[in-house]
């Protein structure tokens, strides 16, 4: 595989410019802070292949769904995260020549994402038509300390001869989403103005009415002498300041650009513009170096508790840090109205909405790396959408709550029927996250305050969705799409039935548990959502009599009824020219094939590691993995975890590397659309839950570590019930250290280990 970025433990470095891969680099080098984000675009003009992208958390547009034949229950719209005001751009002229890397002559190009510092830097030498050489450089960051601001340092330096430099720093609100229908404009102008040298554009989203105010100001100097800007604007959505100067050899033209974004999500409508101007002014007064130092300290704090160190394998090390970096850029947990979009702040595909990916893949990462309130915020997000989930179920003629496959505000907004109507297993992931949280944290209070409401309504949905088959005396679930989206409208998808049975059982257990521990609170909840003993008994009856398809001759679970009717091939039977099949085959051909997009049966083994013995897991892995094309970002990581669980460490490493470098190495030929945030979380799962063997059972934190042959060692830190614990794995030895919190007993392999808050490393040698 030809890699376009250099391997480095803390950086992603691109020293070669290629127009064909530029949008990949823009995705890779995106910067964000949970409130706003920017693709890794050039500041100066670029007429080559680019996707200009500025995205703001929680700001979206309900683009009307367009289908040939309307179906009852179909979502009214497909939500889109909006491409917002372009904040970072400039026009640059050197001796009257406009700088555009698609047109001008340049050398020594490099761009660099520094994950340790949280910065994006670029540098290149422009060669003018008269042969003058001028070095251009920039450093950009989006503050992790002050969520509404960011800054750029932009420099122009003659390397031999004097040059005339002219620069316009501007805001541009005339932007479009690449995926909009008919190149629609989603914004309406409110105001464009300049206040005390600060340019401002305030706009409102059509339909949803979000107010977004963008401000920017500059400090520009040559030889330490400040330059005064001249206002430039037009009658539309463009405003900025122009600066020009003769720059001598040895001198530096330097611009500091400070920008801010505020929205009506956080302020009263009348305050939004004023707050944006305030933030930009405060940033200018604080100055670039001080802001950058605050930002670096924030990242240093994050890395102090979330870093994963891999020794002996640079590609693995770079991959996991890249993924951790983008996860913390995407979600901070400070606002429970927000969730995690599958592209984060790196692109527009999938509309930027919330999927089941959050609960199934991202939730465990934040549960173990951040404090409990961060993961709790993700659950509160779903609780706050419970009423809309009830409405979603009612639209389909069902009871209880059906959480949407894709959402911004709790309403379903996916525009494919086989997903909207059939991929109902997503309900199971929501319930599983509640279970996972309570099992991991011991926070039973959450169940009483929020959790039981969600669990019970999900159970009601499953109870109304099943079909009782009197000939078999079993409950079945017909007409679904499982996690493997390369098959639609199947009956009795094993994973879906398994998750439904779990939800029904767990809801009844949670209700009984609260009834025993806190009868008064249970009576309140029962009154609020009409819980009855007869209904709970029905939940149990359905759970205990669910139908699970099985392939007797192979002694494995059937992915769904009729799976064995297919022509059973393996991925090795596919010509390389056919891969990926989702870009080379018709959908009809894919649906009729045996090929699996992502973990399906295997997904349940990850969720319920203690429910199935090693032999069962091995038989199913050996049958299904050879047919899995891993063309979903959700796939490799789960197969990697299970491969570690059953001792297939070479396979686990192969799949980990694919998950961790899915975007950096563009495995699926789609990184230009934005990063796969689920895979970024999944690569962490492959290490900590896979090679590290992290599990929690009966309140006891357990590890079953293994060391891939390609690594000489690795370490990670997890947060668990008020403690931070570092696990350091070497060949035949594991070290455990309690970094924070009260003493705790954990299990490493089959050894129970007592850890005390004395920073003493407890070493366990070899499995016993």
**Rounded (to 5) percent helix, strand, coil in the chain:** 35, 25, 40
User: Is 405 among the domain residues?
Assistant: no
Q: What is the pLDDT of residue 78?
A: 83
282 is catalytic: no
Q: Which of 62-66, 319-323, 697-701 has the lowest mean pLDDT?
A: 62-66
Phi/psi class of residue 250: alpha, beta or left (left: φ > 0; alpha: ψ in -120 to 50)?
Answer: left
Q: What is the pLDDT of residue 181?
A: 59
pLDDT, tens digit, 9 for 90 and up, residues 17-30: 999 999 999 999 99
- Between the alpha carbon of residue 401 and those of residues 409, 410, 468, 529, 755, the distances in Å are 15, 11, 20, 12, 43
Q: Please, which residues have CB within 8 angstroms of residue 469's CB and are 6 or more apart in sequence?
A: 475, 476, 547
On the question of pLDDT at 768 being above 60, the answer is no
Q: What is the pLDDT of residue 66?
A: 67
Q: pLDDT band at 448, cuts 50/70/90?
A: very high
pLDDT, tens digit, 9 for 90 and up, residues 704-730: 999 999 999 999 999 999 999 999 999
Q: pLDDT band at 180, cuts 50/70/90?
A: low
pLDDT, tens digit, 9 for 90 and up, residues 286-336: 999 999 999 999 999 999 999 999 999 999 999 999 999 999 999 999 899
Q: Which of 174-178, 208-212, 501-505, 648-652 has the lowest mean pLDDT?
A: 174-178
The 3-state DSSP class for residue 411 equals: coil
Among 23, 112, 359, 485, the active-site one is 485
User: Is 613 among the domain residues?
Assistant: no
User: Is 363 among the domain residues?
Assistant: no
What integer is the mean pLDDT of 576-598?
Answer: 95
What integer is the mean pLDDT of 249-265?
Answer: 97
Full domain range(s) for residue 286: 80-303
Q: What is the pLDDT of residue 71?
A: 73
On the question of pLDDT at 419 being above 90, the answer is no
User: When comparing pLDDT for 178 and 466, which is higher?
Assistant: 466
The 3-state DSSP class for residue 591 equals: helix
Q: pLDDT band at 241, cuts 50/70/90?
A: very high
> Among 695, 684, 681, which Cα is nearest to 749's?
695
Q: What is the pLDDT of residue 321?
A: 98
Q: Which of 61-65, 242-246, 481-485 has the lowest mean pLDDT?
A: 61-65
Contact status, residue 499 vs residue 428, Cβ threshold 8 Å = yes
On the question of pLDDT at 449 being above 90, the answer is yes
Question: How is residue 509 annotated by DSSP?
Answer: H
Can you tell me which residue has the tokens 């959402």? 407
On the question of pLDDT at 416 being above 80, the answer is no
Q: What is the pLDDT of residue 372?
A: 85
Peptide linkage before 247 cis (omega within 30 of 0)? no
The rounded mean pLDDT for the chain is: 95
User: Is 201 among the domain residues?
Assistant: yes
Structure tokens at 250: 């040895």
User: Is 739 among the domain residues?
Assistant: no
User: When comparing pLDDT for 87 and 185, which is higher?
Assistant: 87
Structure tokens at 677: 């945030």
- Cα angle: 440, vertex 443, 447; to 5 degrees: 110
d(Cα 566, Cα 504) in Å, to the nearest integer?
A: 32
On the question of pLDDT at 182 being above 70, the answer is no
User: When comparing pLDDT for 3 and 435, which is higher?
Assistant: 435
For the entire predicted model, the pTM comes to 0.97
d(Cα 701, Cα 694) in Å, to the nearest integer?
A: 7
Phi/psi class of residue 352: alpha, beta or left (left: φ > 0; alpha: ψ in -120 to 50)?
Answer: left
- Cα angle: 420, vertex 424, 429; to 5 degrees: 125
Give, rounded to a whole angstrom, the gap between the first and last alpha carbons of the chain. Answer: 40
pLDDT, tens digit, 9 for 90 and up, residues 261-293: 999 999 999 999 999 999 999 999 999 999 999
User: Is 248 among the domain residues?
Assistant: yes
- Between the alpha carbon of residue 189 and those of residues 185, 211, 236, 330, the distances in Å are 11, 10, 8, 28
Contact status, residue 113 vs residue 120, Cβ threshold 8 Å = yes
d(Cα 259, Cα 284) in Å, to the nearest integer?
A: 9
Q: What is the pLDDT of residue 69?
A: 64
Structure tokens at 268: 């009263």
Q: pLDDT band at 68, cuts 50/70/90?
A: low
pLDDT, tens digit, 9 for 90 and up, residues 34-47: 999 999 999 999 99
The CATH number that applies at residue 181 is 2.70.98.40
Contact status, residue 748 vs residue 730, Cβ threshold 8 Å = no
d(Cα 640, Cα 683) in Å, to the nearest integer?
A: 9
Q: What is the pLDDT of residue 73?
A: 77
> Among 155, 36, 117, which Cα is nearest to 294's?
117
The 3-state DSSP class for residue 195 equals: strand
Report the number of distinct structural domains present in the chain: 1
Q: What percent of the chain has pLDDT over 70?
A: 98
Contact status, residue 53 vs residue 39, Cβ threshold 8 Å = yes
């Amino acid at each position: 595989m030809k890699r376009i970025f250099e391997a480095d433990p803390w950086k992603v470095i691109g020293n070669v410019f290629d127009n064909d891969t530029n949008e990949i680099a823009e995705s890779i080098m995106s910067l964000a802070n949970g409130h706003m984000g920017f693709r890794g675009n050039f500041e100066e003009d670029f007429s080559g292949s680019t996707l200009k992208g500025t995205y703001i958390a929680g700001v979206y547009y309900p683009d009307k769904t367009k289908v040939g034949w309307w179906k009852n229950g179909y979502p009214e719209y497909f939500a889109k995260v909006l491409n917002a005001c372009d904040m970072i751009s400039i026009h640059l002229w050197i001796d009257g020549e406009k700088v555009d890397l698609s047109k001008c002559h340049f050398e020594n190009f490099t761009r660099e994402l520094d994950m340790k510092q949280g910065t994006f830097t670029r540098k290149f030498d422009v060669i003018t038509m008269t042969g003058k050489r001028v070095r251009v450089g920039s450093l950009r960051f989006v503050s992790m300390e002050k969520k509404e601001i960011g800054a750029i340092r932009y420099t122009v330096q003659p390397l031999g001869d004097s040059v005339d430099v002219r620069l316009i720093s501007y805001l541009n609100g005339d932007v479009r989403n690449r995926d909009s229908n008919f190149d629609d404009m989603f914004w309406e102008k409110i105001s464009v103005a300049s206040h005390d040298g600060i340019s401002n554009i305030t706009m409102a989203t059509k339909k949803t009415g979000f107010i977004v105010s963008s401000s920017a100001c500059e400090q520009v100097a040559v030889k330490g002498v400040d330059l005064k800007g001249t206002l430039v604007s037009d009658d539309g959505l463009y405003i900025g300041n122009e600066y020009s100067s003769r720059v001598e050899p040895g001198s530096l033209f330097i611009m500091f650009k400070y920008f801010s974004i505020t929205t009506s999500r956080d302020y009263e409508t009348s305050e939004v513009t004023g707050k944006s101007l305030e933030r930009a002014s405060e940033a200018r007064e604080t100055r670039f170096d001080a802001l950058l130092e605050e930002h670096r300290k924030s990242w240093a704090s994050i890395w102090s508790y979330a870093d994963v160190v891999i020794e002996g394998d640079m590609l693995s090390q770079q991959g996991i840090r890249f993924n951790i970096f983008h996860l913390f850029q995407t979600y901070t947990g400070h606002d429970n109205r927000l969730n995690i979009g599958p592209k984060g702040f790196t692109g527009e595909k999938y509309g930027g909405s919330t999927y089941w990916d959050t609960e199934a893949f991202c939730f465990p990462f934040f549960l173990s790396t951040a404090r409990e309130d961060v993961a709790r915020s993700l659950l509160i997000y779903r609780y706050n959408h419970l009423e809309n989930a009830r409405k979603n179920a009612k639209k389909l003629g069902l009871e209880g709550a059906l959480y949407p496959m894709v959402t911004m505000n709790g309403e379903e907004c996916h525009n494919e029927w086989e997903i909207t109507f059939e991929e109902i297993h997503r309900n199971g992931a929501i319930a599983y996250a509640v279970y996972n949280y309570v099992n991991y944290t011991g926070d039973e209070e959450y169940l009483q305050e929020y959790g039981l409401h969600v669990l019970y309504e999900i159970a009601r949905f499953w109870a109304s969705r099943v079909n009782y088959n009197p000939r078999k005396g079993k409950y079945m679930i017909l007409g679904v799409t499982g996690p493997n989206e390369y098959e639609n409208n199947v009956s009795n998808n094993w994973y879906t039935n398994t998750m439904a049975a779990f939800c029904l059982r767990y809801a009844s257990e949670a209700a009984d548990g609260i009834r025993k521990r806190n009868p008064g609170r249970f009576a309140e909840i029962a009154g609020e959502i009409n819980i009855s003993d007869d209904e709970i008994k029905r939940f149990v009856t359905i759970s205990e009599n669910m139908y699970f398809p099985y392939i007797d001759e192979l002694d494995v679970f059937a992915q769904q009824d009729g799976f064995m009717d297919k022509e059973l091939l393996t991925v090795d039977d596919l010509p390389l020219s056919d891969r990926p099949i989702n870009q080379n085959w018709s959908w009809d051909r894919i649906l009729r094939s045996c090929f699996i997009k992502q973990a399906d049966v295997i997904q349940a083994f990850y969720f319920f590691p203690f429910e199935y013995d090693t032999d069962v897991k091995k038989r199913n892995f050996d049958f299904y993995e050879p047919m899995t094309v891993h063309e979903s970002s959700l796939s490799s990581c789960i197969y990697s975890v299970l491969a570690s669980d059953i001792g297939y460490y070479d396979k686990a490493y192969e799949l980990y590397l694919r998950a961790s470098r899915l975007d950096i190495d563009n495995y699926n030929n789609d990184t230009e659309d934005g990063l796969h945030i689920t895979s970024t979380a999944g690569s962490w799962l492959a290490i900590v839950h896979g090679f590290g063997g992290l599990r929690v059972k009966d309140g006891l934190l357990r590890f079953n570590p293994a060391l891939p042959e390609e690594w000489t060692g690795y370490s990670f830190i997890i947060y668990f019930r008020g403690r931070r614990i570092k696990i350091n794995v070497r060949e035949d030895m594991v070290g455990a250290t309690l970094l924070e919190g009260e003493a705790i007993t954990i299990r490493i392999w089959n050894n129970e280990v007592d850890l005390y808050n004395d920073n003493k490393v407890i070493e366990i040698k070899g499995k016993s």
